[in-house]
């Protein structure tokens, strides 16, 4: 079987292929791949059994990450919650995975990581032969096809319904868009939130790349009390799905219900646009609070597994190291924290 390597940003077939494939998501789109290249200079590549002159019927897309800090590797896809293998029948999956493992040895890449949202029994059996599970997350998806009233009643009464009503009583102001002013308000809250989690913020250039690449499909939503930003979320629409990608808030004002108001407004707007599903994204197993928050919206849970080849253990910093890092970050000025994020994120995709 012949295997071909293509550039999804240049191949004229890619857009219609992604639009038609039932397993395709935002993360397969040219717009998302363009943002990754624009912000981090990652090179997207796809492997397929489809001849260059024929209709594209299958592909596995990944980015080539070259880093002197973390090693050169193939990831499908960096900074993407999931990225299913776009196949037309099971035999193609085994052949394409075989080509990727060959590429790994030929070009001296450190490892290959795949992030499929779902795997058929045949594909999972193929992965189990040479890959190992490197990470396990919880994924949440909310069905938006029900009526607005039915959806609202399905939300947790105390954690969601009452918070939305509280936000309305507080007369929180809702704004959305992707202007530079809105982006700066979002980023200020993001710095606060990442510091709280003991992490540097993602580079501002990444969010600018998303805005430039995704256009009107990207929306930053902000809740304000007067002129003070309370909470913000960044969502992206793709086909029939609304993707929640980033969220942040001023923890001292969380009792006002700003985050719940933002999600409710996003859900109502999505339904009006004919969107059928809200992808709440992935949650780390070590973050039960986030998992519970998404459960409270009535979203359906599933297990999301990342697969790595060769199957060496992933590096995990010790708990003591993480505690020391979080402590140091809590005292780091915003400007230094932003600088760390600017330097670091390109190497950890």
DSSP 18-61: HHH-TT--GGGSHHHHHHHHHHH--EEEEEESS-TTSPP--BEE
Sign of the alpha-carbon torsion through 83, 88, 90, 95:
negative
- pTM, entire model: 0.94
Q: What is the predicted pLDDT for the residue at 29?
A: 98
**3-class state of residue 269 by DSSP:** helix
Model confidence pLDDT, tens digit, residues 210-243: 999 999 999 999 999 999 999 999 999 999 999 9
Classified as helix, coil or strand, 17 is helix
CA distance 101 to 113: 10
pLDDT, average across residues 18-42: 97
Helix (H, G, I), strand (E, B) or coil at 342: helix
Instruction: Give me the residues paired with residue 132 across strands.
Output: 308
pLDDT range class, residue 90, cuts 50, 70, 90: low
Of 85-99, 122-136, 245-259, give the lowest mean pLDDT range. Answer: 85-99
- 224-230 contacts, C-beta under 8 A, 24 or more apart: 224/172, 224/173, 224/174, 224/175, 225/170, 225/172, 225/173, 225/253, 225/256, 225/258, 226/173, 228/253, 229/185, 229/186, 229/188, 229/189, 230/172, 230/256, 230/258
Question: Pairing relation of β-strands 60-65 and 228-238?
Answer: unpaired
Whole-angstrom distance, CA of residue 266 vs CA of residue 299 = 15
Mean pLDDT of 182-204: 96
What confidence score (pLDDT) does residue 319 get?
57
Q: Residue 317: its pLDDT value, please?
A: 55
Biggest CA–CA distance in the chain, Å, is 64
Q: Which CATH superfamily is domain 140-304 in?
A: Gcn5-related N-acetyltransferase (GNAT) (3.40.630.30)
Instruction: Return the pLDDT at 329.
Output: 80
Domain ranges of the chain: 4-130, 140-304
The SS3 assignment for 7 reads: coil
DSSP for 193-260 reads HHHHTT-PPPPHHHHHHHHHHHGGGEEEEEEEETTEEEEEEEEEEETTEEEEEEEEE-GGGGGG-HHH
- Band of pLDDT at residue 341, cut at 50, 70 and 90: very high
- Position 97 confidence tier, pLDDT thresholds 50, 70, 90: confident
Q: Which CATH number fits domain 4-130: 3.40.630.30, 3.40.1280.10, 3.20.20.80, 3.40.50.2020?
A: 3.40.630.30
Q: Is 294 helix (H, G, I), strand (E, B) or coil?
A: helix
Of 120, 144, 46, 75, the closest CA to residue 347 belongs to: 75
């Amino acid at each position: 079987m012949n295997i071909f390597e293509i550039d999804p940003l240049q191949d004229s077939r890619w857009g219609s292929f992604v639009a038609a494939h039932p397993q395709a998501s935002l993360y397969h789109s040219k717009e998302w791949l363009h943002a990754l290249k624009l912000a981090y200079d990652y090179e997207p590549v796809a492997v397929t059994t489809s001849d260059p002159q024929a209709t594209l019927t299958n592909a596995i897309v990944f980015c080539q990450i070259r880093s002197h800090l973390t090693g050169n590797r193939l990831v499908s896809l960096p900074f993407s919650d999931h990225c299913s293998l776009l196949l037309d029948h099971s035999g193609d999956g085994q052949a394409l995975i075989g080509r990727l493992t060959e590429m790994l040895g030929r070009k001296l890449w450190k490892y290959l990581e795949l992030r499929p949202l779902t795997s058929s029994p045949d594909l999972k059996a193929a992965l189990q032969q040479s890959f190992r599970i490197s990470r396990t997350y919880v994924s949440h998806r909310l069905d938006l096809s029900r009526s607005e009233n039915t959806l609202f009643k399905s939300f947790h009464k105390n954690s969601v319904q009452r918070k939305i009503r509280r936000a309305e009583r507080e007369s929180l102001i809702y704004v959305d868009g992707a202007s530079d002013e809105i982006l700066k308000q979002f980023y200020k809250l993001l710095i606060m939130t990442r510091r709280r989690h003991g992490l540097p913020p993602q580079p501002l250039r990444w969010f600018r790349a998303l805005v430039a690449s995704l256009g009107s499909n990207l929306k930053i939503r902000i809740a304000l009390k007067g002129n003070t930003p309370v909470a913000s979320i960044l969502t992206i629409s793709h086909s029939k799905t609304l993707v929640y990608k980033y969220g942040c808030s001023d923890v001292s004002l969380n009792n006002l219900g700003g985050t719940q108001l933002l999600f409710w407004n996003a859900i109502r707007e999505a339904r009006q646009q004919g969107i059928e599903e809200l992808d709440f994204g992935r949650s780390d197993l070590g973050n039960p609070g986030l998992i519970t928050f998404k459960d409270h919206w009535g979203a359906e849970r599933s297990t999301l597994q990342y697969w790595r080849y060769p199957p060496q253990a992933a590096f995990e910093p010790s708990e003591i190291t993480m505690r020391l890092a979080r402590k140091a970050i809590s005292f780091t000025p915003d400007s230094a924290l932003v600088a760390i994020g600017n330097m670091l994120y390109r190497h950890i995709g």
